[in-house]
Amino acid sequence: MISVVIPVYNEEENILPLHERLLNVLNSLNEDYEIIYVDDGSKDNSLNILKSLKGNVKVVELARNYGQHAAIFAGFSVVSGDKVITMDADLQNPPEEIPKLVEKFNEGYDVIATIRQQRKDSIFRKFSSHLNNYITKKITKVDLNDWGCMLRGYRKKIVERMLNNDEKTVFIPAIATYYTKNIVEIPIQHSQRQAGKSKYSLIKLVNLMFDLMTSFSNLPLEILLYGGILTAAFGILLGIVLALGRIFYGVEWALGGVFSLFSVLFILIGAQFFAFGILGEYIGRIYKQVKNRPVFVIENIYESKDNSLKKIKTTEENQ
């Protein structure tokens, strides 16, 4: 069975065309399927539209907005299929590309990653994506080229391993590569957003990058360590230079560099605040882990019964 997991946040204009295209594609595959929509605390009419959909559908209603990756984990917790596909609700991931992922599942791969061809994003999104891809590749040491595309496939055993992960902040495409080496990456088409606007602001993109770095690597802390050593060495060398200048050229020469000293001082103060910020990110995530609050809370689950959606479960917490 194929399970398609789709997080939804304020996508009322995209749901119906997305669902129609999904049904056309999935019905052509001659495999059992289910479509799992996760309403991530939408403030528009998305939930009501989701509850009106026909077909083999589950709707997971979260208690509030927890973020895209938490919503996907909520969908993972109710999947029935052995082939799990995630995608966005904005139709930038064309549903017509799903057969390519199913083909790779049938070839035996555990994780199917995708590369967006001819991306229809802004220059800012493309730049931030390239930066994120570079950092992710270096941190995970997995040679994939597009970590930001959510049209991806995971075999159910990989999903179960991710669900058993106790971390509170995770980046799903990266954490999945921790549980298998049987990974393939395929090219897919990329489309313009059909309606609405992206839910990822600059702050959310930065937070996502910090989640990735702090979950997978101590590299930022190592940079601080070696940066501190180099800064100390530079300070010692500068002190020696100033002392020699005072000896050979007099006190006036040393005083003449007072503004240079102030410049260096401000640079070092800025570096210190940056270092404190990096440490704060790690400490904040440790604090979140220690509090052990659930990653998401499911308010209701609706499932297809007698050609309509019926409520089957309420209030479930995931640790």
Domain boundaries, the chain: 2-201+294-318, 219-291
Angstrom distance (rounded) from CA 105 to CA 308: 30
User: Rounded to a whole number, what is the largest CA-CA distance in the chain?
Assistant: 94
Contacts for 222-231: CB closer than 8 Å, 24+ residues apart: 223/278, 224/275, 224/278, 224/279, 227/271, 227/275, 228/275, 231/268, 231/271
Q: Tens place of pLDDT for every residue, the chain, 319 residues?
A: 999 999 999 999 999 999 999 999 999 998 999 999 999 999 999 999 999 998 899 999 999 999 888 999 999 999 999 999 999 998 888 999 999 999 999 999 999 999 988 776 667 677 777 777 777 777 777 778 888 889 999 999 999 999 988 776 678 888 898 899 999 999 998 877 666 566 555 566 666 666 666 666 666 666 766 776 777 677 677 767 767 776 777 666 655 566 566 657 766 776 777 777 677 777 766 766 676 678 899 999 999 865 667 777 665 555 4
> In the CATH scheme, what architecture does the domain 2-201+294-318 have?
Alpha-Beta Complex (3.90)
Which residues 6+ apart lie within 8 Å of 71 measured at CB? 7, 8, 9, 38, 40, 62, 296
Angstrom distance (rounded) from CA 169 to CA 185: 24
- DSSP assignments along 279-308, one per residue: HHHHHHHHHHHHHT--SEEEEEEEEEETTE
